[in-house]
């Protein structure tokens, strides 16, 4: 049916009508007082969301642009960095770092498993000459739906004392607590089309005082993504280059909605959505790809047995207008992923699970009792 598309992918995520309406206006001049007022409010709310007293820098980029800004502003050619790789986005960190001539050492884990904090701890403890300049990792690894243990890995970085910690929080920001100042995270990157409830096009980078010190001596080439330019402008409630003003209108409203809901309530909602989805998947005889104790709060990857992941996705799309994501790289065709990030409520999960059950029925899957998935999700939501 036309205009009934339901986005259940881990980005872009659904956008509230209020946000869409806020964006459907003529742009205003970005050097105007009216724009500065909006940016001042947005800046304050970004700090609140990021749990930091530092200004959060806003760039016109996708999430990868925010990651690249993190690499090029605080490191120098040949710097030794540890990169956590247990999925597509961890590998992307490694690729960006290598593209800029950094000396990358990967700490890997099998896709679907979390990074082992002890592996970081060992490398960092052995580095008595303090050559490791940064530890770089993905918090919520969207490709496998695994949440890495950022808190424990960060403790090892703090014991080292020298290295910066750089985090891809693209699908954890706005889904689970990322207490930037409390933990002392140095560079935290995220993107608008994930937990922010607005369309793609904005990237965000939070930067610690320690990282700003590293900025002074970092020597990689930078221009458009030179965060020093943004820092100066943000302090004056403006931007170095033309921002996507209509997206910022949307961001203003989305952040107001988030403040109204409250951080704790937002995190608790994502927790319930995750638990409900996982309970339903298990009740249907399908396996969540990530273990329970490291489940992403933004997305659930499902490993179906005796039934094709891509057949499930195409039936959901064609018959029920529901978009779920497929697997990436070697997981293509093996898993499918249910996004539950941002503007998603319990009703959306119940609807998606009911449609998934009907899909399984249509495809002749006999591993589940009809209704079992919805009942399991409902038990989480009303329990």
Ligand X SMILES: *Cc1c(COP(=O)(O)O)cnc(C)c1O
Output the smallest distance, CB 142 to ligand X, in A.
3
Q: Distance between CA 24 and CA 37 in Å, rounded? A: 19
* Measured distance CA(12)–CA(313) in Å, rounded: 17
- The tokens describing 6, both together, are 């339901």
Half-sphere exposure of 138 (CA within 13 A, CB side): 32
> How far, in whole angstroms, is CA 274 from its chain's centroid?
15
Q: Rank residues 137 and 258 by Cβ distance to ligand X and give the closer one.
A: 137
- Phi and psi at residue 44, in whole multiples of 5°? -60, -40
DSSP string over 103-121: EEEEEE--TTS---HHHHH
Q: Which is nearer to ligand X, 71 or 378 (CB)?
A: 71
**Closest distance between ligand X and the C-beta of residue 81, in Å?**
17
Residue 303 CB burial class (10 angstroms; 0-12, 13-18, ≥19): middle
Q: Give the DSSP H/E element, type plus range, for residue 74.
A: helix 63-74
Is residue 258 within 8 Å of residue 266, measured between CB atoms?
yes
Between 137 and 322, name the residue whose CB sits nearer to ligand X: 137
Q: Which two tokens stand for residue 302?
A: 């499902």
Q: How far is the CB of 84 from ligand X (least distance, A)?
A: 12
Supply the minimum distance, in Å, between the C-beta of residue 12 and ligand X.
9
Judged by beta carbon, residue 170 or residue 266, the one nearer ligand X is 170
- Select 11 or 117, whichever has its Cβ closest to ligand X: 11
Nearer to ligand X, 55 or 168 (CB): 168
Q: What number of other Cβ atoms are within 10 A of residue 352's Cβ?
A: 24
Residues 6 or more apart whose CB falls under 8 angstroms from that of 126 comprise none
| Shorter beta-carbon distance to ligand X: residue 203 or 373 | 203
- Residues written for the chain: 383
- The rounded distance, in Å, linking the Cα atoms of 380 and 378 is 5
> In the complex, what is the shortest distance from the CB of residue 66 to ligand X, in angstroms, rounded to a whole number?
8
Cα distance between residue 219 and residue 192, in whole Å:
28
Residue nearest to ligand X (CB): 63
Q: Which of 133, 188, 131, 121 is nearest to 159 (CA)?
A: 121
> Beta-carbon neighbour count of residue 180 at 10 Å?
25
Name which of 63 and 288 has its Cβ closer to ligand X: 63
Closer CB to ligand X, residue 298 or residue 360?
A: 298
**What distance in Å separates the CA atoms of residue 383 and residue 374, rounded to the nearest whole number?**
13
Shortest CB 277 distance to ligand X, Å? 17
Residue listed under structure tokens 């690249």 = 68
- In the complex, the smallest distance separating the C-beta of residue 64 from ligand X, rounded to whole angstroms, is 3
CB of 343 to ligand X, least distance (A): 16
Residue 196: CB minimum distance to ligand X, A: 11
Helix orientation angle between 309-320 and 346-362, rounded to the nearest 10 degrees: 110
Shortest Å, Cβ 139 to ligand X: 8
Residue closer to ligand X (CB basis): 96 or 360: 96
Q: Which residue has the tokens 């998947």?
A: 281
- The residues binding ligand X (CB under 6 A) are 10-11, 62-64, 89, 138, 142, 168, 170-171, 191, 194
Number of neighbours of residue 12 by Cβ within 10 angstroms: 18
């Amino acid at each position: 049916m036309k205009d009934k598309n339901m986005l259940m992918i881990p980005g872009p995520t659904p956008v509230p009508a209020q946000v869409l309406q806020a964006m459907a206006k003529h742009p205003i001049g970005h050097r105007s007082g009216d724009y500065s007022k909006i940016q001042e409010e947005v800046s304050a709310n970004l700090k609140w969301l990021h749990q930091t007293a530092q200004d959060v820098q806003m760039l016109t980029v996708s999430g990868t642009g925010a990651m690249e800004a993190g690499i090029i502003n605080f490191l120098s050619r040949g710097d030794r960095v540890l990169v956590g790789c247990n999925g597509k986005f961890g590998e992307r960190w490694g690729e960006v770092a290598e593209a800029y001539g950094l000396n990358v050492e990967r700490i890997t884990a099998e896709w679907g498993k979390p990074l082992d904090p002890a592996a970081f701890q060992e490398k960092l403890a052995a580095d008595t000459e303090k050559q490791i300049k940064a530890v770089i990792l993905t918090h919520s690894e969207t490709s496998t739906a695994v949440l890495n243990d950022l808190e424990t890995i960060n403790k090892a970085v703090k014991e080292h004392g020298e290295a910066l910690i750089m985090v891809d929080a693209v699908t954890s920001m706005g889904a689970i607590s990322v207490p930037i100042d409390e933990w002392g995270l140095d560079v935290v990157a995220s993107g608008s089309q994930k937990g922010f409830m607005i369309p793609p096009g904005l990237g965000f980078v939070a930067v610690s005082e320690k990282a700003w010190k590293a900025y002074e001596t970092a020597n990689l080439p930078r221009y458009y993504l030179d965060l020093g330019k943004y820092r100066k402008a943000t302090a004056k409630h403006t931007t170095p280059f033309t921002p996507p003003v209509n997206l910022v209108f949307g961001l203003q409203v989305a952040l107001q909605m988030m403040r109204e809901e409250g951080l704790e309530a937002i995190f608790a909602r994502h927790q319930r959505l995750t638990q409900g989805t996982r309970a339903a998947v298990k009740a249907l005889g399908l396996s969540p790809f990530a273990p329970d104790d490291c489940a992403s709060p933004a997305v659930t990857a499902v490993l179906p047995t005796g039934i094709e992941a891509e057949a499930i996705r195409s039936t959901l799309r064609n018959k029920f207008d529901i978009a779920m994501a497929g697997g990436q790289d070697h997981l293509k065709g093996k898993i499918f992923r249910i996004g539950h990030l941002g503007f998603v409520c319990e009703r959306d999960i119940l609807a998606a699970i009911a449609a998934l059950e009907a899909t399984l029925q249509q495809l002749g899957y006999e591993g589940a009792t009809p209704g079992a998935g919805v009942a399991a999700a409902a038990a989480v939501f009303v329990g």
